[in-house]
Structure 1
Amino acid sequence: MRDTSAAGRASSLEHDPADALRKPSRAQSQWLKRLAGSARPPLLLAGAAPLAGGVLLVIQAWLLASVLDAAIARQAPRAELLGGILGIAALMLVRACIAWAGERAGAIAAERIKRQVRLALFERLVDKGPHWSRGQASGVLASAVVDQVEALDGFFAKYLPAMAAAAMLPVAFSVLLFPVDVIAGLVLLITAPLIPLFMALVGWGAQGASRRHLRAFARLSGFFADRLRGLSTLKLYGRAEAEAESVAAASDALRQRTMSVLRIAFLSSAVLEFFAALGVAGVAVYIGLTYLGFLDLRWSVLTLQAGMFCLLMAPEVYAPLRQFAAHYHDRAAALAAVTQIDAVFDGLPDVAPAGAAPVAPAAAPAACGPVAMTARGLRLMAPGRPAPVLDGAALSLAPGAHVALMGPSGIGKSSLIEAIARLRPCEGEILIDGRPLADWDEAALRGRIALIGQKPQLMAGTIAQNIRLGCPQASDEALREAARRARVLEFTERQPLGLDTVLGGRGQGLSGGQAQRVALARLFLRDPGLILLDEPTAHLDENTQARVLDEILAFAAGRTLLIATHSPQVAARFGRTLRLAGGKLEQA
């Protein structure tokens, strides 16, 4: 018997019913529609393709009915029918080409829109900074950028073209039957609108189910990623099997939600097929009874060509509605995805139309040389702390100054450095070269400021590739010189592959001190005006620390340098030392 309590615990972890039942707002729906402007030409082509195919379909049906009438009623010779048969074959080939072109245009439009949305989300991640992203579940962010954006594909590639065809073709086909047979046209014109009506009722349930499903999928992604990241800790404390059961129970809950979405989709198809079969059967019964003489509702004799044309067109009236129903769930999935993206990123990003020139923020004037930095009235709160770590702090760095920042662990040294680099929000005023920090363009700011934290970010790849992140255009000679200055060669030369040694994710394969030296090598490839270092020598022995510090000070000559450290020996190498205490900076 299955452990329902475990399933309940897992379900609560990956699903928030109140949030999942929240309907998309009007702004979210309008944002989804505005995305179509990013790929208007291919979307117009995708929407026009089924309409052009519908025009050719009418011609093909009439031509086929005339060929059958000539062959059956008039007993025409085969040579006389050959032209009509070839015409039908040509029309079928042209319609297939038009359908392919429409599908291709829809796919191009969807890919273009998804690419622009992902770029906009990446820009939103950069704008919010690492302080915000560290507070989010990485699995949820990844799911939003990958899975939720991918859910928009069907809306633009399939749903919008199908909606255009479903809105125009059934009515147009029904009206075209009026000159041929008024009764058949009326039967189709009356039954066709009933399908969207009842499908809309079913669609409301499908939309809610899709929102619950996507929300559960995002929660499960974060849940699984967190457990995978902490797998070694779980095994150490004997929780691996219990967490595996929780993941299995959460996966089972997601499977049940997936099945509920499919059940509603099948119900929608059943509604469509019922009314479509009813309409086609009604036309067929009416024409059959007319031919048998049991009905006489016409003013003229119903010819074989007219009857066959009505029978051929009857299922085609419902074909666009069938196509629309097949892709109706794409709309519900897209709206649910937009709701999820809005919740994860605290708002929807602005996506510029295709061809529009990007509006760049006001860039800081190009500058070189050391940076002048002034900070006044800094106030910064840290998560989990009732009192601010900085409260009215002030700091001034003259161009080319070298300053050491000291204080006990947790006092706020790292927070101050991150605030100066605009990586952590804070109250107060920070001026870089006399310009407010908020007014700086991101690229210009990163060119003027270089920061190395206590835990530098290393990527999966070779050591050389990680160093080259500091300057992708750097030559091999410059990269090797930077590695030498940072004392990276001291440990890579003992490796068979040297700088081409492959690291795992997050720099797996290096010690803390080695990772710091790789980050310093990145710094030596750059030309910043302000260098911010947070405990760059904390994991080094005294001998290596002295040599690395020599290289840092030599590189910082003519540049402004602020270094946070616990070591009195390091601070003694600087002409000015500040101490952070009680949220204020004091001269040491």
Structure 2
Amino acid sequence: MTQEEKAAGKALTRLQRQGGIAIWLAIGLPLISGGLLVWQASSLANVIGRAIEGGEALDALLPTVILVLILLVLRAGISALGDWLGTLASEKIKQNLRDALFSSLLARSPRRQDQPPSGAAVSAVVDQVEALDGFFARYLPASGQAALLPLVFGAIILPLDWVAGLLFLVSAPLIPLFMALVGWGAQAATDRQAQALTRLSGRFADRLRGLLTLKLFGREAAETAGIVSASESLRRRTLKVLAIAFLSSAVLEFFAALGVAGVALYLGLTFIDFLHLRSSPLTLELALFLLLMAPEVYNPLRLLAAHYHDRASAKAALVEIERQLGTLPAETTPLSDIAPRAGKAIALDLTGVTLRTPDRQRVVLADTALKIAAGQHVAILGPSGQGKSTLLEALVGLRTAEGDIMLDGRALEDWPEEDLRARTFLLTQKPRLLHASIAENIALARQGASRAEIELAAERAGITQFAAAMPQGLDTLIGEDGIGLSGGQAQRVALARLFLRDAGLILLDEPTAHLDATLEAEIMSAIIDYAKGRTLVVATHSHAVATQLDKAWRIAGETLLPVAVPAHKKGVA
């Protein structure tokens, strides 16, 4: 067993505890049903023996017949209740795990180098977690039955007939032995199938996101063929896993049938006086009881074999989850919507800061020093690809940086996450818009924002002008990533979120991209007016934008160099 499989086994044990009382009841109820089964078989054998050998009348047998029916109904009810509790516990465990995985993903920086592809993350949280269902809902109750019931049944049968008891004790252990041998192959095949499912999910999600690009370059047919080929490969792997699972069941059925046939043969030969291994005569009641119990001795093992594949699937799923998302979180990371908090302007002080590309192969800024006073408005100039976006993201902890970044005299890493997010605002170059109305997209900036506040933010961002021409104004639905809007309109919708915040530090990455000169001037005027008393840093390649701010720096090579601004802006604090 590999280290990954051992870790997966321990993780399953930890997750089992989250099932609460329901999981233990799901395991315990079948054991109670097993005890009732012995009573039912004994009562049924007694009724038939008394009717045939004793010739008793139906009136005398009726109470026992009713007892058998009651036991039958009671066992069916217990079985249904156990299945329901197992499903309930499984759903609770899966929900807790999904919450923990999702909150762990949200707690990470979206720019982390080890961030999994979206398709792989979705597959892990949805498909791989779902693969745990069979283990908790079916395998665990079956394993409890297989571990105890055959021993209990054997202990009951052995004093009644040592030959039948010996046959059970010899044949029953062969089933889990061969099942384990087959299970090794099933585990390896299931691991490969889980990896193939993750790769297919990731590939499909990534191609779906890049559908427009594929269409523009005429690659849709080739990628469709690739998806079909990958799907076919996954189908074949799945069939191989099923073949091994069926083989496991066939092995079990063979030995179970062999054991039942051996007991039946022994009883038949004893009745015709061909075998004389008993010290006392074999009664019809005892023979019927042994025949009724013979398949039940093997039934828990057969049930375990039927669900043994669920254990392999669960282990493979956990290995794949940890491969894609890292170590399973012990508990859900506390998350809450960040409520913007009013506060003074935040001063920035960078000393010896070095920034690298995510692969750490190229230096973006080397040994950089930068001081921005609280309430100052500054511009970071430079062409695309020079590191402006990386610098802004590093200022709010979304990029790893070497050196010291101080916000209001406190090291960036010492800021609690909720305080940092509540007192800063970052508008990225490619802001995320959701499939929702324009108003709902703006309202993401602040939970509980009133309609009047949303409309004021839309007016400041210049949205009202184009929204008025739309069928439902601000309530007009837009598609994912702003489908239905132009690039400039989508940028303004994202920018409007700024006006619902009360951030002490505002970081804007190309806020006037896609805008003409007139609209650029209007938007910048609104931003500067709103940012009075707040620290504002604007990354831009536009000199017209830079001249409206207090100071400017240019990224040249790996260094920040000061840039002169018009005289009327100099000295502004």
Q: TM-score, normalised by structure 1?
A: 0.91
User: Is the counterpart of residue 234 in structure 1 residue 214 in structure 2?
Assistant: yes
Would you say the 8 A contact 2:113–2:358 is kept in 1?
no
Give the equivalent residue in structure 1 for 2:199: 219
Cα distance, 1:25 vs structure 2: 4.0
The answer for the alignment partner of 2:437 in structure 1 is: 462
Q: Is residue 2:254 matched to residue 1:274?
A: yes
> Separation in 2 of the partners of 1:329 and 1:444?
48
**Structure 1 residues 360, 511: CA separation in 2 closer, same or farther (over 3 Å shift)?**
closer
Query: Contact 1:125–1:133 at 8 Å: present in 2 too?
Result: no
1:124 partner amino acid: S
Matches within 5 A, 1:247-286: 247-286=227-266
Q: Using the alignment, how far apart are the partners of 1:270 and 1:405 within structure 2?
A: 71
Q: 2:351 aligns with which of 365, 376, 388?
A: 376
Deviates more, 1:535-544 or 1:374-383: 374-383
Counterparts in 2 of 1:5-154, with a 5 A limit?
Answer: 24-132=4-112, 136-154=116-134
Q: 1:532 aligns with which of 483, 501, 507?
A: 507
Q: For 2:372, which of 397, 402, 423 is the aligned residue? A: 397
Residue aligning to 1:293: 273
Unpaired runs of at least 5, structure 1: 1-20, 353-357
Spell out, residue by residue over 1:63-120, the C-alpha distance to the aligned partner (whole angstroms, 9 max, x if none). 1111111111111111112111211111122212211221122112211111121122
8 Å CA contact 1:372, 1:397 repeated in 2: yes
Q: What is the CA distance between 1:168 and its match in structure 2?
A: 0.7
Once the two structures are superposed, what CA deviation does each residue of 1:443-492 show, in whole Å capped at 9, x if it has no partner? 33211111101110011111111111111311111111111111111111
Partner of 2:483: 508
User: Match of 2:320, as an amino acid?
Assistant: Q
Partner of 1:193: 173
In structure 1, C-alpha distance between the alignment counterparts of 2:530 and 2:81, rounded to whole Å: 59
Q: Tell me the CA shift for residue 409 of structure 1.
A: 1.9
Asked whether the 8 Å contact 1:461–1:504 carries over to 2, the reply is yes
Aligned to 1:486: 461
Larger deviation, residues 527-536 vs 369-378: 369-378
3-state DSSP of counterpart to 2:108? helix
CA distance in 1 between counterparts of 2:17 and 2:295 reads: 34
**1:374 and 1:106 mapped to 2: Cα distance?**
57
CA distance, structure 2, for counterparts of residue 31 and residue 413 of structure 1: 43
Aligned ranges 1:409-448 → 2 under 5 Å:
409-448=384-423
* In structure 2, C-alpha distance between the alignment counterparts of 1:443 and 1:417, rounded to whole Å: 18
RMSD, aligned α-carbons: 2.2
SS in 2 for 1:368: coil
Describe the shift of the 1:138–1:69 C-alpha distance in structure 2 as closer, same or farther (beyond 3 A): same
Shift of 1:359: 7.7
Residue deviations 1:301-356, cap 9 Å, x none?
2222111111111111111111111111111111111111111123332236xxxx
- Give me the identity figure in percent: 51
Cα displacement string for residues 126-147 of structure 1 (whole angstroms, at most 9, x for unaligned residues): 2332113796432112111111
1:174/1:189 contact within 8 Å kept: yes
With over 3 angstroms needed to count, the CA separation of the structure-2 counterparts of 1:32 and 1:380, relative to structure 1, is: farther
Relative distance call for 1:435 and 1:95 in structure 2 (3 A) is farther
Name the CA distance, whole Å, in 1 between partners of 2:412 and 2:92.
Answer: 34
SS in 1 for 2:448: coil
How far the C-alpha of 1:547 sits from its partner, in A, is: 1.5
CA distance in 1, matches of 2:79, 2:284: 30
List per-residue Cα deviations over 1:519-573 (Å, max 9, x = no partner): 1111211222211100101111122111211221222122221111111111111
Whichever residue aligns with residue 215 of structure 1, its letter is Q
Deviation at 1:225, TM superposition (A): 2.2
In 1: Cα distance, 2:8 partner to 2:401 partner: 30
The 3-state SS of whatever aligns with 1:178 is helix
TM-score with structure 2 setting the length: 0.94
Q: Tell me, yes or no, if the aligned pair for 1:265 and 1:329 is still in contact at 8 Å.
A: yes
Contact 1:35 1:351 in 2 (8 A): no
* Alignment-mate amino acid for residue 558 of structure 2: G
* Closer, same or farther: CA 291–158 of 1 in aligned 2, 3 Å: same
**Are 2:86 and 2:137, in contact at CA under 8 Å, matched by a contact in 1?**
yes
Contact 1:46 1:105 in 2 (8 A): yes
